[in-house]
Chain A
Amino acid sequence: MLKVGAPLIGLAIAVVLVVAAIFLFKTWWGTPPTALGFSVLNLGEGPTQPIAFPHTVHVQDAGLDCQFCHRTVSTEEAAGIPAVQQCLFCHDLGRIDGSSFDANGNKVPGTESPEIAKIRNAFYGNPDTGDGPAPIDWVRVHRMPDHVQFVHSPHIQAGFSCSTCHGDVASMVKVKQVQDLKMNQCVDCHRQNNAPTDCATCHY
């Protein structure tokens, strides 16, 4: 019979435990990072987006409603990510953009931002690099596991505010997940509000 030395077995167990710990950490406590209460390896931050879009400016300063951009939140499953074209409602030439001046020749605030230039480049193509128009790939902040179906519209129609789950996005420069949104939270809230708690409500 093959004889294996004790230190080797110890090492093997240690390795398995470490790997399992990494796995558990990443999959369960990894999202949202705040579940740990502290930030490790940047995990406490929201992801870095291709364009540093500040919700603060748009919601607090400009006073836009969430639904102005997330148009389908009250009618569909997904809240919806706005089309680049919609950004250009305001950030197109002659408006709040890199052209620097409005129709009356006055300087427009927020003009030289390279982030806004990225939006125009995405829509019209980038004259410097020669790249054509391209959709923007944002990094998802909130993601339900594949076996969960979450539909926004009934929650909004029942009168819940976006901030119930998403926190005070209006004051976030970089959006991050603030609730852990695990099943216990869903079920607790459904119970408190007499919403159905059958398995098939979410797992279908």
Chain B
Amino acid sequence: MGHTTGGDDAWARLHAYLVDPMKRPQVLLGSALAAFWSLIEPSLDPPPKSSPAPSDNLQTPMNLVMPLNFSYVAYRAELGHMLFDAADEILAGLNNVGTVHFARFDVIGGNLCMFSIFDGDFEGYIRDFIGAIGGAFDGIMKFVKDPAPTPCGQNVDQFVAWVRGHDSLQMPELASDVTPGLRALQRQTLVQLYRHPNAQMGVYRGYPGYSVAQIRDGLEIGW
């Protein structure tokens, strides 16, 4: 029995889905409507999160998905070596940013992903980490498709925009976050997912409402 590729699997799953008479109209109609709405309602993308309430600005996820130029094993190994060599700079830099709870690099399906949880404003976070680990990102840009202009530190605004463009769509965490109203939820969801193949669809926080510095201060491990 031959090896089945991921693409064949996907077709098989889609076929199974479409032959289900209960789901077929829903899938076809949803896809068609998403494409149509996406053309006529360009404003349905969620605006960047910005709230004056401090608790709304803690522990924000960033899910940066960066397609690699190539996905063959030697290329991924080279990327791994580069990240390993830059590990000290990255770890020290993120520590200096001071607002990062967690950050990690994963290679998933031909993409280099940086998943992190940070406190504060998205743009401020990106600017701070350019100052701290901009050199490492200059190296990363050599491995990814359509990279941001380098050096990142000399092209700050473009880099912030590039990161925003490669950050996964974050679906609303609470029903109350959905605007303009719950009636629009399905329509918005379809359009946003049509435009953004990568999406975050849920978050759990074990200690909501605390900054990384508050936690470190409370644990007396320095901040």
Q: Do A and B come from one complex?
A: no
